[in-house]
Amino acid sequence: MIVLLALAMAVPTAAQERDVVDYDIEVVLDPETHELDGRETVRWLNTTGVSTSEIWLHLYLNAFASSESTFMRELSSDPLDVLPSLDDEWGWTRITRLELADGADLMSGLSFERPEDGNENDFTVVRVELPREILPGEAVELEFDFEARLPRVVARTGSSGDFHMVAQWFPKIGVFEGEAGWNCHQFHVASEFFADFGSYRVRMRIPRGWVVGATGEQISREP
């Protein structure tokens, strides 16, 4: 069984005339290793009045990459929580390819950011330098290859046997707030997910016969 949590759908208001971000994702789930092999194309529209020469991204699964991530440190210090012993069942996300639509390589411009606590062992936020500024009203298209692994079930994500709760599993663009810059925080225990309205088209390859529970609308399914 697979539960896919990431395709948030909402009815836009009059002020939300167009999506800020459009995702097109293909992903394969390995049920034995609990790993994801994905390809993602993202179109981001600058709806502010300020130009930007960088994109900030969330890599939420990296919160479960080690006991030293900011999330796990906070979890271990909270008396209301019991720190799970994940042993060798940690989770992570790795970007293996990042290009513009014209083929320009952006991998050398990736850097991990820790805006809240400077924790060098936290890899939940990454900044991407662009070769030029994206002007107000202009869009940019990014192409990713990525790999991810689900941890053992913890904090609303993970796997247990053939059950997979696949939540916040893909590289996800933060929110650009113009003069205030990018709203793209590290993953904290006492926090919730924040993102622009967007559209998602997702194609998944999973074991035959598995039941899928997901938000969004199923377009088709091959036997």
In tens, the pLDDT along 172-200 reads: 999 999 999 999 999 998 888 899 989 99
Query: How many structural domains comprise the chain?
Result: 1
Give the CATH number for residue 205.
Answer: 2.60.40
What per-residue confidence (pLDDT) applies to 86? 64
Domain assignment of residue 220, yes or no? no
Instruction: Report the mean per-residue pLDDT for the chain.
Output: 88
Give the chain's length. Answer: 223
What per-residue confidence (pLDDT) applies to 14? 40
Domain assignment of residue 103, yes or no? yes
Q: Is 139 exposed, middle or buried (0-12, 13-18, 19+ CB in 10 A)?
A: middle
- Global pTM? 0.86
| Residues in the chain with pLDDT values less than 70 | 1-17, 78-87, 223
Domain assignment of residue 200, yes or no? yes
Domain assignment of residue 102, yes or no? yes
Domain assignment of residue 165, yes or no? yes
Three-class SS state of 193: coil
Domain assignment of residue 223, yes or no? no
Domain assignment of residue 222, yes or no? no
Domain assignment of residue 171, yes or no? yes
Structural domain including 143 reads: 2-6+21-213
